[in-house]
Amino acid sequence: MGMGYVLLTGVILLAISLITIKKFKTETSLQKILHLSALLIGVVLIILSTIGIIGYGQDILNY
């Protein structure tokens, strides 16, 4: 069940970052760092959950 939450969190972070990417040019440097961090964390969580699902044979749909 944990991998499902990791995947969901990664997708939500990635979606929020991509939806708000249009405002990136007008952001301050701190906002840009936070924006890119959320994007990077989202991608990393999706990759890690995919590796966990494939590598350990966990099927998140059966929970």
SS3 58: coil
At residue 5, the pLDDT reads 85
pLDDT tens digits, one per residue of 29-56: 998 899 899 999 999 988 888 887 776 6
Residue ranges of the alpha helices (H) in the chain? Answer: 2-19, 29-56
Say whether pLDDT at 1 is over 60.
no
> Helices (H), strands (E): how many in the chain?
2, 0
Output the average pLDDT for the chain: 82
